[in-house]
Structure 1
Amino acid sequence: MPARPEPTPVPGPAGSGDTGGRRIRVLLADDHAVVRGGLRMFLATHPDIEVAGEAADAAQAVDLAERLQPDVVLLDLVMPPGPWAEVAQAPPDEPPGISVIRRLRQRAPGVRCLVLTGFSEEEKVLPALEAGASGYLLKDVTPEELIRAIRSVAAGQVYLSAGVTGAVVRRATRAAREPASPLEALTPREREVLRLIAQGMSNAEIAGRLYVTEATVKSHVTRILQKLGVADRTQAALLAVRQGL
């Protein structure tokens, strides 16, 4: 059986994530207690790494990461959201872990997220990296590679396992040969609002569907029209249909 190709850490900005010789503090975020327990015992065998805390859902992951400020959050993408409104308002097909990454990038930029999950599909890998993840590993990773990834991410590097680099390469290849879609300027929430506009929903109906105020929907619609360069909702809906949204 041929050996698995070794991934190459990608250098990050100079000095980012530098632990200065101290122990790397890791927050474990996974809804399976047995997974967290196994990771905790394994990491305890490495003197340069310590487990700063454990989270069983997205809300706990955000709360503990903001309070404890670990160097690395070892994060499963698919976990219960917990009592966190921001996750509840995310697009229905977005894993809660991606909302965690996005929130921590905004509120705790010194905390770096290393995804550890069983999903290698582009629909999971690319949104996680675009949200700000510093690394992406699959759960069949070897123990040696897991430690290497934690150390690399803590040192300010980006680390991708060999099993997911193909998704990144395919995306880059398509982007090089396909014209950019005007919808790429929209945020995930704006795309969701536009999708509902294209389904013929009013602002009030969209507000009810997304559990937000009608004023919030109106604000989204205004930004959508500006970004797409169209004059009204009808033109925006037609553009969404043409783009396959």
Structure 2
Amino acid sequence: MSNGRRIRVVIADDHPVILLGAQHALAQFPDVEVVAQARQSTELVDVLTRVPCDVLVTDLAMPGGRYGDGLPLVGYIRRHFPALGIVVLTMLENAALLKRLKDIGVIGVVNKSDDLAHIGLAIRYVTQGVEYASPAVRAVFDMLRANAGGRVDDMLLSPREIEVVRLFVSGLTVKEIAVHLNRSIKTISSQKTRALQKLGLERDSQLFQYAQSAGLMNLSSAEGAVPAGGSGEP
């Protein structure tokens, strides 16, 4: 910090090994002080309310608390602790999700597959208001940006694609979604396929993982979704 005080950091992750590894990595940064830890969102929000800190280092997938996890949790923290710097830890390699993090004000992202020393670097950058992405995160952006012809926005899902993904991960089949939305099976199948392609995913299991982290699992049909019985076509 500019005044000589160390950067106060809270670490949140539901895996004890990651908590230990992150704390060990940050011990190598004399300007960083870990002031608290948390393992789920209820504990995290309580800690942030009680313990003064400058930066939160948090896992993206951290189920089990009353405030959820993924993008909904990060959004909640951004709204209620606007001065707090955030560094997100994640195993997800999905450019669309990473861009959504950036859109809600997260400028530091570290992939857990990278050396955990990148957490300390990200903290230093975020404290100065500068973006930081670890090597694996940068590689994902570079690859998908190239695949999209440089247009990262092309990787974002349309409202109808979001609705198809939301219904699919809720347990409906493509045929059931077609009936629910009054569209053809071919249209629903195409929209699901396009969603996978835009997100850089290959398997349905990856789509479930994305949907959970993006908060689509709990999204009601009234939130950002196209209502059933729309025009019937994309």
TM-score scaled by length of structure 2: 0.63
**Residues 198-230 of structure 1: CA distance to partner in whole angstroms, max 9, x if unpaired?**
6528xxxxxxxx889xxx97xx37x86xxx7xx
Aligned-residue offset at 1:52: 1.7
Counterpart of 2:123 in structure 1 is 150
Counterpart of 1:183 in structure 2 is 159
Counterpart of 1:116 in structure 2 is 89
**Residues 152-186 of structure 1: CA distance to partner in whole angstroms, max 9, x if unpaired?**
111111101121224334257464795987629x9
Map 1:1-245 to 2 at 5 A.
20-82=3-65, 84=66, 86-87=67-68, 96-122=69-95, 124-169=97-142, 170-171=144-145, 173=149, 175=151, 183=159, 192=166, 200=180, 220=222, 233-235=228-230, 238-239=232-233, 242=234
Which protein shows a greater Rg?
Answer: 1
Moved over 6 A (4+): 195-198
Q: Is the 8 A contact 1:126 1:167 kept in 2?
A: no
Unpaired runs of 5+ residues, structure 1, are: 1-17, 88-95, 202-209
TM-score scaled by length of structure 1: 0.60
Q: Is the 8 A contact 2:180 2:228 kept in 1?
A: no
Q: Counterpart of 1:200 in structure 2: which amino acid? A: H
Structure 1 CA distance for aligned equivalents of residues 178 and 151 of structure 2 = 25
Unpaired runs of 5+ residues, structure 2, are: 182-216
Aligned-pair identity in percent equals 27
Calculate the aligned-residue CA RMSD, in Å: 3.9
Structure 2 CA distance for aligned equivalents of residues 27 and 154 of structure 1 = 13
Q: Is the 8 A contact 2:86 2:108 kept in 1?
A: yes
Q: Is the 8 A contact 2:12 2:38 kept in 1?
A: yes
Q: Counterpart of 1:235 in structure 2: which amino acid? A: G
Aligned pair count reads 190
Aligned-residue offset at 1:54: 0.4
Counterpart of 1:93 in structure 2 is none
Structure 2 CA distance for aligned equivalents of residues 145 and 98 of structure 1 = 22
